[in-house]
Structure 1
Amino acid sequence: MSSNTAAGRGPAQSFHYEFETLTGYFKQSENSTDDANFDFIKEKFGLIERSYPMDADVEGSRSQWQKFEHHIRRLNDQSAANESVKVLFLGRHGQGWHNVAESKYGTEAWDCYWSILEGADGITWSDAELTELGEGQAKEVNALWKESLDQGIPSPETFYVSPLTRTIQTADVSFQGVPFAKGKEYKPLIKELLREALGVHTCDRRSTASQILERFPHVTLEPSFSEADVLWEADYREPQAARRYRLQTLLDDIFETDRGIFLSLTSHSGAIRGILRGIGHRLFALQTGGVIPVVIKAKRVNGERVKPPKEPSEGPPACKEPPAADVGK
């Protein structure tokens, strides 16, 4: 396989995109929505009941989702040549064993000591797998998609997935057996940059390309995907500015190469925060298994994206032993 083209690697692009969040479509994009108490399952992904300027163009009785899809497609038809609008369904993986471990040991001890290990106390969290609860959370998303398709939600045209095990498992369960529109089907495309914060934590170190394909032969690795994980470093945790740049670079790639309008991205809390910051969206916390749809307007402009200077490793320095209060748990 060819070497990985990732943030800071490969030829610089002569263009980038300026991203803008379009509000007024989903409750999660509105400042009045409390993310601490928002239930995307009960809220049916959070689509706002409203009318659209072009409703009169839609023949017959249409559902809210169908009116929304018609509106978004018309926005694209009316966009300038260098502009486009996409709807991204950003899904966080279900609960993984690393989440269990962090809850067990506490965030402070997790960050400085336990996260550096491969596992402990009968738990393995390197490239963490889903727990039973995590699988259940993905099944709830699966049921929501099936219900929403009956109500006219547009089927995703591309399914982007992080290369980490828990995200592939989440996407597989979330979309298994979902009856998408004719010509649309779940075909996961693994994107290297759609990852959690890079470095230090072994739960965020991916398996090799060969191992991924052996375990998940139905996935497609992007052409630049490398055999080994060349992004993860044992002693350097990716800072927030670098993460935002990485995710914006991912979006540059998606908006440049994907002609689809409705896309699914299954990833991680840190990746989703990076995307939300990169598109000017309000911060919105997601529980494990959560999904947030966002409407993004992008404008293609000349000039490569400005890369932030390298900053010190994010997070506390490593501990040689667990904090005293944590010993014996």
Structure 2
Amino acid sequence: MDVERPFHFRYTTVKGYFLQSEDDTDDKEFDFLKQNFGLIERSYETDGDAAEETQWKRFEKLVRHMDEKSEDGVQYKVLFLGRHGQGWHNVAETKYGTEAWDCYWSLLEGADGITWSDANLTAIGQGQAKDVHELWKTQLSRGIPSPETYYTSPLTRTIETADLSFKGLELPEDRPYEPIGKELLREALGVHTCDRRSTASHIRKVFPHVELEPGFSEPDPLWEADYREPRSARKYRLEQLLDDVFEHDRGVFLSLTSHSGAIGSILEAIEHRAFALQTGGVIPVLAKAEKIAGEREEPPHEPSEGPPPCDSPPAAPN
């Protein structure tokens, strides 16, 4: 009997299709809401008689052609990477300043009438997600392919963002909004209580429509109160997430609602340029995956990232 040998994927970004993937695009000036998710207006080799179809429909035809005609072990997927809207932890970091937040306030459950452990969206954050909903509504009328799968971090703010972004859209019957909670799709782990998830039973009670992936444990198995996940470990974790998705999901257009740090690690994993996303921001990227024999190399254990804890809160910024 043949034994399945271990493998992983090598990821690269296919440039030339989205503004955010181009080196000369200023991420501080880029506005996905006004720039069609960044899709570049251009012709494709697969246009043929469909040259009069919308840009999105022609792009979908091209990507599906690339994926179907790719050699064995190669896949192409478009990943819609969405950052959650503003959460109460974002408000707190602004209020206290990043230095004080990192060493003192982020270790607490909340303060001054604000709760940020597994933070909820603020009204501003809800509005940002609703803006994304309106963008999807507009782009669906222009032929954008709706995601075939909706993945989300299991933290409250990301589920709330995904719900406000996608619930109520006129989606194809075979692509309903049925979000899947993925443990590895989370923000940097440890120390900050805003990045500690709620129990599985709480998530199922508050968000019964979210399917938690198989093996999802009742308590949070990844968060440690005294160890902040280093960047190298976070990149490795998000590479494992991508390996899982590319191995098991045959969809070509996927939505991943997550966090700034996690999205940064995904971009790094697919050799995409660094691209800062504002709260509520969304960018699609075209990724190529090549199957590679052997286990993915795990980085060495590194010290906790970030400053040591403070005994008292540092002075607030002026």
- TM-score scaled to structure 2, two decimals? 0.97
Identity %: 66
User: What is the Cα deviation at residue 60 of structure 1?
Assistant: 6.5
Aligned to 2:89: 98
**Secondary structure of 1:295's match?**
strand
Task: Pick the aligned partner of 1:184 from 167, 175, 179.
Answer: 175
Question: 1:28 aligned to 2:20?
Answer: yes
Match of 2:267 among 263, 273, 276: 276
Please point out which of 301, 305, 313 is paired with 2:296: 305
Report the 3-state secondary structure (helix = DSSP H, G, I; strand = E; otherwise coil) of the residue aligned with 2:237.
helix
What does residue 261 of structure 1 align with? 252
1:87 aligns with 2:78: yes
What is the aligned partner in structure 2 of residue 10 from structure 1? Answer: none
Q: 2: CA distance between counterparts of 1:282 and 1:250?
A: 19
1-structure distance, mates of 2:80, 2:141: 18
2:128 pairs with 1:128 = no
**TM-score, normalised with respect to structure 1:** 0.94
Taking a change above 3 Å as real, the CA distance of residues 180 and 252 of structure 1, as seen in their structure-2 partners, is same
Q: Which of 273, 277, 281 is the matching residue for 1:286?
A: 277
Q: Which runs of 5+ in 1 are unaligned?
A: 1-12
Residue 235 of structure 2 aligns with which residue? Answer: 244
Partner letter of residue 278 of structure 1?
A
Distance in 2 between residues matched to 1:61 and 1:272, nearest whole Å? 34
Shift of 1:81: 1.3
Q: 2:65 aligns with which of 70, 74, 79?
A: 74
Residue 319 (structure 1) aligned with residue 310 (structure 2): yes
Q: CA deviation at 1:176?
A: 1.3
Alpha-carbon distance between aligned partners in 1 of 2:175 and 2:155, rounded to the nearest angstrom: 24
- Residue from 156, 161, 167 that aligns with 2:152: 161
Q: Distance in 1 between matches of 2:83 and 2:51?
A: 36
Structure 2 match to 1:39 = 31
Amino acid at match of 2:223: W
- Provide structure 2 residue ranges, at least 5 long, that are not aligned to the other structure: none
The answer (yes or no) to whether the contact 2:51–2:58 under 8 Å persists in 1 is no
**2:294, 2:256 → 1: CA distance?**
26
Query: Which residue in the other structure is 2:40 paired with?
Result: 48
Aligned residue in 1 for 2:189: 198
Which of 208, 213, 228 is the aligned partner of 1:217?
Answer: 208
Q: Secondary structure at the match of 1:95?
A: coil
Q: How does 1:136-147 map to 2 (within 5 A)?
A: 136-147=127-138
CA RMSD of aligned residues (A): 1.3
1:291 counterpart letter in structure 2 = V
Are 2:20 and 2:38, in contact at CA under 8 Å, matched by a contact in 1? yes
The Cα offsets for residues 160-214 of structure 1, whole Å up to 9 and x where unpaired, read as 0000000000000000111112311100000000000000000000000000001
Aligned to 1:18: 10
